[in-house]
Structure 1
Amino acid sequence: MANQTNNLAHTKWLCKYHIVFTPKYRRKVIYNQYRVDIGKILKTLCQYRGVELIEGHLMPDHVHMLVSIPPKISVASFMGYLKGKSALEIFDKHASLKYKYGNRHFWAEGYYVTTVGLNEATIRKYIKEQNKHDIALDKLSVKEYADPFRN
């Protein structure tokens, strides 16, 4: 579906967005069983709203999504729905998380969004290779601390 337009009653549209959002306090909580469950929840919620999830990747401390949102739904209302409903479902499946994240707020406030336009292949590649990039940055940012008790 690279540049294929979609149809509504009186509209032809091609609205794709790259969205990034994080868990509260940017905790590295998205791994193992949480990762699988969060992925399923996000896919299901996208389907409920008629949003096509083109590409997605769950990092330990953030989520990348490439989505196609119909023009009748604003990005802000979709993100409010996605983050709100997914937080409720995450806490229902993993009740132990409520001790880390009080008041059932799993996601941090806000998100990053950009329109994709015709460079969809570039965004897909970026999302797929984000994990490799983060690992490389972690290796470069190894800090050596001086002994504070040495003169």
Structure 2
Amino acid sequence: MGYAAIFFYNDVNEVENRLKELVQEICTELKVDIIEMEIMPDHIHLLLEVDPQVGVHKVIKTIKAKSSRILRGEFPYLKTKLPTLWTNSYFVTTVGGIPLSVVVKQYIESQKTSQRY
């Protein structure tokens, strides 16, 4: 999930920590298990276990809508610095077997250390 990242340096950790809390709260509300989560400078990686009855689209849409509304309320400068917190696009792939989920989890974990600019 991509988002435009223009934060004041001192607030980056505060915004990142709050975003993590919000994603966890939203996933709990939707009964979605977070297997892995990494917040990057311009996007977020999530490995989720989503009930097919709920649907991935609903989960992503809800995460983006609620987190944007709450973050912009708690950090008012985001309203003026970013025309929109999240982009409309996102990438989703399904993971059916344990070996692939391990590979995806390792990929997500490695993204934090190999930041790209």
TM-score for the superposition, normalised by structure 2? 0.87
Aligned to 2:77, which of 78, 96, 100? 96
Aligned to 1:44, which of 14, 22, 25? 25
In 2, Cα distance between equivalents of 1:89 and 1:79: 15
Aligned to 1:57, which of 6, 23, 38? 38
Cα deviations by residue, 1:85-121 (Å, 9 ceiling, x for unpaired): 110111121111110124xx31011101111121111
Q: Specify which structure has the higher proportion of strand.
A: 1
Query: What residue is the counterpart of 2:91 in the other structure?
Result: 112
Alignment length (residue pairs): 112
State which structure, 1 or 2, has the greater radius of gyration over its C-alpha atoms: 1
Query: What residue is the counterpart of 1:81 in the other structure?
Result: 62
- Measure how far apart 1:22 and its partner are: 1.2
State the AA in 1 paired with 2:113. Answer: K
Matched, 1:128 2:109: yes
Unpaired runs of at least 5, structure 1? 1-20, 139-151
The list of structure 1 runs, each at least 4 consecutive aligned residues, that deviate by more than 4 angstroms after superposition, is: none
**Greater relative CO (CA pairs within 8 A, separation 6+):** 2
Unpaired runs of at least 5, structure 2? none
In 2, Cα distance between equivalents of 1:69 and 1:101: 30
In 2, Cα distance between equivalents of 1:57 and 1:87: 17
Query: What is the CA RMSD across the aligned residues, in angstroms?
Result: 1.7
- Measure how far apart 1:131 and its partner are: 2.2
- Measure how far apart 1:132 and its partner are: 2.3
Q: Specify which structure has the higher proportion of helix.
A: 2
